[in-house]
Amino acid sequence: MPVMLVVAIVLYAILIERTLVLWGARRAERAAELQAQLQRPGDPRWRAWAARFVALAEAEQLTRGFAIIRALTASLPLLGLLGTVTGMVGTFDSLSVGGGHAASRAGAGISLALTATQYGLALAVPAVLWAWLLTRRVEQLVEHRDLVVRQAQTAGT
């Protein structure tokens, strides 16, 4: 379970950082900056290409850390499953040894198994929802940027 705790701390730290970055992105400032770039003198095809290039670079920046978020989120239930297996092995071991305390040791093993599974799921489910919200925010920012580019290109023609 200590490994699960470390994974959860790292995961939620990344989620908090990405949330602060993505909700701190100011649409009006970004739109004004992009429109200024698109209205520079020069070849309109060059400006359109530059806008697409900037869009790709920005999308890469916005989705930074998403792969590690997915990997860490997927690992939490698996770590819970590992705890489940460990607890059940302990349970079967205590039952095979027998003795007067076999039932209490078996109960402790079952408790560990269920607790590990519960923690793994309890930590992963909110992270999945949080990651979905971040993905949706990136989609909104990209859609807004594309709208600004289309409006600037329409105004320039």
Q: With the CA atoms of 80, 84, 85 and 86 taken in that order, what torsion angle do they form, in degrees rounded to the nearest 10?
A: 90
Cβ atoms of 137 and 15 closer than 8 Å: no
Nearest to 69 by CA among 24, 22, 1: 22
7 and 76 Cβ atoms separated by less than 8 Å: yes
Q: Which residues contact 15 (CB under 8 A, 6 or more apart)?
A: 69, 127, 130, 131, 134
Could you read off the pLDDT of 15-74 as tens digits, one per residue?
A: 999 999 888 876 666 666 766 766 677 777 777 777 777 777 788 888 999 999 999 999
Report the predicted TM-score, pTM, of the whole model to 2 decimal places.
Answer: 0.78
Chain mean position to CA 55:
21
pLDDT at 156: 59
Q: How confident is the model at residue 79 (pLDDT cuts 50, 70, 90)?
A: very high
The two tokens of residue 69 are: 């978020």
The yes-or-no verdict on residue 104 having pLDDT over 60 is: yes
3-state secondary structure 140-152: HHHHHHHHHHHHH
DSSP H helices, 2-156, are: 2-24, 27-38, 44-62, 66-97, 102-156
Contacts of 140 (CB under 8 A, 6+ apart): none
How far, rounded to the nearest angstrom, does the alpha carbon of residue 21 sit from its chain's CA centroid? 13
Which pLDDT belongs to residue 94? 79
20: which residues sit within 8 A by CB, 6+ positions away? none
Looking at residue 100, the DSSP 8-state letter turns out to be: T
